[in-house]
Amino acid sequence: MATKKTAQKKAAAVKTAPRNVVQKILAAHLVEGDPATDAELGIRIDQTLTQDATGTMAYLQFESMGVPRVKTDISVSYVDHNTVQIGFENADDHDFLQSIAKKYGIVYSKCGNGICHQLHLERFGKPGTTLLGSDSHTPTGGGIGQIAIGAGGIDIAVAMAGGAFHIPTPKVRAIVLKGRLRRGVSAKDVILKVLEKYGTKGNVGWIFEYTGDGVRTLDVPSRATITNMGAELGVTTSVFPSDRVTRQFLAAQGRAGDFTEIVADRGATYDDTFVIDLAKIEPLMAAPHSPGNIVTVKSMKGTKVNQILIGSCTNSSYRDIRTVALYLKGKHVADDVEVGIACGSRQVINMLAKDGSLAILHAAGCRMLENACGFCIGAHMSPRTGAVSLRTNNRNFEGRSGTKSAQVYLVSPETAAASALTGRVELPTAKPVAAVPSPKKFPVDDALFLYRATAGRGVKGTAIVRGPNIAPVPKGAPLADDLDGVVAIKVGDKITTDHIMPAGARLKYRSNIPEYAKYVFEPCEPKFHDICQANRAAGRANVIVAGESYGQGSSREHAALCPMYLGVKAVVAKSIERIHRANLVNFGIVPFTFTDPADYEKLAAGDRLAFKGLRAAVAGDGRLTVRTKAGDVTLQTALSAREKAIILAGGLLCLRQ
Ligand code: MIC
Ligand code: SF4
């Protein structure tokens, strides 16, 4: 009896204890685990999004689960990555995605509608809900008060089938914004400031919650810029409260009914706090080749620039592109710089057309690009050899632009526009333009969102269109007791998923694993595919050895799926980033770290590794000592019970079928 009373008291205390925004949303979605005691939580997913480059695989996996229709509140399939359509492959993928959407009750956003994150914010993002997306920049939804998380395609497939999504029980850091930004300084500079402080590694398991009186000075698209690029920190997600500004944005989108207020209670506590005085932020930029390599624009002033590209899911809102137009009004971009602009959505383009901005940008000599990912993923507009390229997107990994020798700097739209006029890095604060007010009414045209009427139900009898680029999903095999392993490749620190599974010209093979697997590690070791096949033919298991922060960047599960296809059974790294680690588990690859990071030096490509009792180690405490020619090396992997079951079975798909 006493215990029951104590439990009731405890429950009442939990109910009344002041809560932050993260705690409120997670509590409303918790289906497994207890934040007070468990390391992993299962949450219900209300909305999902996919884009075409990860979506094909996600839907092939969803199909193989045999569920008749999606079970979420809303699932949207966007086409924005593979839009160049050289060859039949992209168009094959689009047709496949469209037929899947129709059959299973998914909304289909046609190619030409815009970039997934910008569109989702405009038309579907709903405060207080959870959104899971097969793209690492899904946290854009945090700008509208969603807990929005990026994950691998198979996790989205599970969520569409009604399954929970699992996150490490988060630690929540309050980023307290005070005051107001100066003219010429914008949201991009705020997130670059946060990246300067926290870097791109060491933030796994955290959620960053923005709070403080400065929050209300930022409109929803600006908030979304900040949460979008929070992905580069490696956090689970970032979130803003849902307040009057959010209400105004939703009403202007004709979605007043989607508004719910979600603000932190007075006295809510956080695991850590970082205060930023907005008025003191100066224009910043991320120097090559990492979004965490922050320098001031002032320190780079006068540097010759060859290319300037404005857009991407980070900075392609009406507010951003209109600001650029105000900088360029009545002027012309410098002769020796090429300037390209990609808007985030048709809505943005329509507004720019109406207010004359498009004409200004054309007259200024800008190249108006398709409203898609395009340059951001190296799908076109690769700069010339050794170029300095200023871009408003979120990643400047070496070679991502398509030109290995290019020096890509990430900047705000304001810095990009000011620099376009002279062809040199310029301070946007020197001659700032007026702030763009939040529109009272956005023009809504949902014509390119197909199957809204059958969302959640689907259309029975729809035939799935499968061109030759749609290959079946490969399946893993149960984990062996022992492995005769060989180091197929040894790489250094901060290896990104762009190194492991390049995009750009190779992106069109996303739905064709046997073909795409030929390009694993292409930028690091073009022979990786052949090395793996030879090891496999000799009866050996392939192992990847890596340094710190392995698998940074995108959510592409292909960076685990293609290695699995090539017989990779383990990754041994100093540390592994969140989404990639989850993808490795999902495809049955053991994510090991060194117990002593110095052991990294003992291993070289081609070395043999004897994994004795691997299955028992995974099922047990995750520690295993492997024999190498330089002596014994002890490895560890911290797996939840759920993850152990997945790896032992040979991957999530083996468990779900
Ligand atoms: C990216 O920005 O790297 C991508 C391309 O959008 C990826 C998804 C993908 O690889 O398809 C991401 O961010 O997850
Ligand atoms: Fe597209 Fe670039 Fe955004 Fe990725 S980061 S979703 S490639 S615009």
pLDDT tops 80 at residue 10: no
573 CB within 6 A, ligand 1: no
- pLDDT band at 656, cuts 50/70/90? confident
C-alpha distances in angstroms, 347 versus 353, 442, 444?
10, 7, 7
Residues 182 and 292 in one domain: no
Q: Tell me the CA–centroid distance for residue 35 and ligand 2, in Å.
A: 32
* CATH number, domain containing residue 216: 3.30.499.10
Task: Give residue 337's domain range.
Answer: 286-420
Note the pLDDT of residue 16: 74
- Residue minimizing CA distance to atom 4 of ligand 1: 554
Q: Is 542 in the pocket of ligand 1 (CB under 6 A)?
A: no
Count of other CB atoms within 10 angstroms of residue 13: 9
Mean pLDDT throughout 633-651? 97
Domain boundary among 280, 300, 333: 280
Residue 11's pLDDT band, with cuts at 50, 70 and 90, is: low
Counting atoms of ligand 1 from 1, which one is nearest the CA of 395?
Answer: 2
Give me the phi and psi of 572, to 5 degrees please.
-120, 110
State both tokens at 616.
């028992």
Q: Which residue has the tokens 């007010």?
A: 437
Distance 251 CA to ligand 1 centre (A): 31
User: Domain check: are 78 and 43 in the same one?
Assistant: yes
Distance CA 256, CA 243 (A): 12
Report which of 632, 543, 653, 630 is spatially closest to residue 590, judged by C-alpha positions.
543
Which pLDDT score, from 0 to 100, does residue 5 have? 57
pLDDT digits (tens, 9 = 90+) for 505-543: 899 999 999 999 999 999 999 999 999 999 999 999 999
Q: Which atom of ligand 1 is nearest to the CA of 377?
A: 5
Residue 1, pLDDT above cutoff 50: no
Report yes or no on 585 lying in a domain.
Answer: yes
pLDDT computed for residue 12 by the predictor? 52
Q: Return the exposure string of 49-78: e unless at least 16 CB atoms fall within 10 Å of the residue's CB, then b.
A: bbbbbbbbbbbbbbebeebebbebbbbbbb
Q: What gap in Å lies between CA 116 and CA 130, rounded to an integer?
A: 16
Which residues contact residue 139 at a Cβ distance below 8 angstroms, ignoring those fewer than 6 apart? 148, 149, 150, 227, 228, 230, 231, 237, 238, 239
**Residues 273-293: tens digit of each pLDDT:** 999 999 999 999 999 999 999
Is 429 a member of any domain? Answer: no
Which residue, 488, 637, 510, 479, is CA-closest to 566?
A: 488
pLDDT in tens, 322-333: 999 999 999 999
Look at the chain and report how many structural domains it folds into.
Answer: 3
User: For residue 657, what pLDDT band results from cuts at 50, 70 and 90?
Assistant: low
How many alpha carbons lie under 13 Å from residue 346 in its C-beta half-sphere?
A: 14
**pLDDT for res 320:** 98
Residue 150 alpha carbon to ligand 1 centre in Å: 10
* Average pLDDT of span 424-430: 98
In a shared domain, residues 143 and 274: yes
* CB half-sphere exposure, 142, CA atoms < 13 A: 32
| 35 and 77 share one domain | yes
Query: Of 227, 251, 280, which residue is a domain's last?
Result: 280
* Ligand 2 atom 1: residue of nearest CA: 373
The answer to whether residue 426 sits within a structural domain is no
Same domain for 11 and 48?
yes
Please give the mean pLDDT across all residues of the chain: 96
**pLDDT surpasses 80 at 185:** yes
Residues in the chain: 657
Task: Please identify, by atom number, the ligand 2 atom nearest to the C-alpha of residue 135.
Answer: 6
Distance CA 74, CA 129 (A): 11
Residue 465: CB atoms within 10 Å: 15
Q: How far is the CA of 499 from the centre of ligand 2 (A)?
A: 16
Ligand 1 close to Cβ of residue 222 (< 6 A): no
Report, as an integer, the average pLDDT of 126-130: 99
Eight-class DSSP state of 508: G
Residue with CA nearest ligand 2 atom 3: 313
Give pairs for 242-250: CB < 8 Å, separation 24+.
Answer: 242/127, 242/128, 242/144, 242/145, 243/215, 243/216, 244/216, 245/215, 245/216, 245/218, 245/219, 245/220, 245/438, 246/127, 246/144, 246/145, 246/220, 248/438, 249/144, 249/219, 249/220, 249/438, 250/127, 250/144
Is 54 in contact with 84 (CB distance < 8 Å)?
A: no
Q: 63-73 pLDDT, tens per residue?
A: 999 999 999 99
Q: Is 136 in the pocket of ligand 1 (CB under 6 A)?
A: yes
- Which pLDDT score is estimated for 334? 98
Q: How many CB atoms lie within 10 A of CB 500?
A: 30
Average pLDDT, stretch 573-597? 97
Does 170 reside within a domain?
yes
Which residue spans within 100-182 are E strands per DSSP? 107-109, 130-133, 147-150, 165-168, 171-178
One domain, residues 88 and 140 = yes
Q: How many A from CA of 116 to the centre of ligand 2? A: 9
Instruction: Ligand 1 pocket test: pick from 140, 237, 377, 380 the residue with the most ligand atoms within 8 Å of its Cβ.
Output: 377
- Return the higher-pLDDT residue of 8 and 416: 416
CA of 308 from ligand 1 middle (Å) equals 21
Alpha carbon of residue 169 to chain centroid: 19
**Does ligand 1 lie within 6 Å of residue 135's CB atom?**
yes
The residue nearest atom 2 of ligand 1, judged by CA position, is 554
What is the rounded average pLDDT of the residues 101-126? 98
CA of 400 to the centre of ligand 2 (A): 11
**Beta carbons within 10 angstroms of residue 525's beta carbon:** 17
Distance 220 CA to ligand 1 centre (A): 23
Is 467 inside any structural domain? no
Q: Does some domain include residue 462?
A: no
Residue 191 and residue 100 share a domain: yes
Strand partners, 76: 49, 107
Q: Give residue-wise pLDDT tens across range 212-265.
A: 999 999 999 999 999 999 999 999 999 999 999 999 999 999 999 999 999 999
Question: Ligand 2 pocket check: which of 373, 507, 552 to mutate, most ligand atoms within 8 Å of Cβ?
Answer: 373
For the CA of 373, the nearest ligand: 2
17 and 106 inside one domain: yes
Distances (CA, A) of 81 to 51, 94, 118, 371, 630: 7, 11, 13, 10, 45
Share of the chain above pLDDT 70, in %: 98
Q: Which residues line ligand 2 (CB under 6 A)?
A: 81, 115, 135, 137, 312-313, 373, 376-377, 393-394
Q: Residue 8, Cβ neighbours under 10 Å: how many?
A: 10
d(C-alpha 71, C-alpha 160), whole Å: 6
Residue 565 has which token pair?
A: 């296809």
CA of 376 to the centre of ligand 2 (A): 6
With a cut of 50, say whether residue 572 has pLDDT above it: yes
Q: Is residue 474 part of a domain?
A: no
Residue 556 Cα to ligand 1 midpoint, Å, equals: 6
- Angstrom distance (rounded) from CA 280 to CA 292: 20
Q: Which of 395, 420, 445 is the last residue of a domain?
A: 420
Q: In terms of domains, do 88 and 229 share one?
A: yes
Is the per-residue pLDDT at 89 higher than 70? yes
- Look at residue 380 and tell me whether its pLDDT is greater than 70: yes
Do 113 and 78 contact (CB within 8 A), yes or no? yes
Say what the pLDDT of residue 416 is. Answer: 99
Looking at the structure, do residues 647 and 518 belong to the same domain, yes or no? yes
Q: What pLDDT shows up at residue 655? A: 86
**Are 79 and 101 part of one and the same domain?**
yes
My answer on whether 189 and 330 are in the same domain is: no
592: in domain: yes
Average pLDDT, integer, range 373-390: 97
Q: What is the CATH number of the domain that holds 574?
A: 3.20.19.10
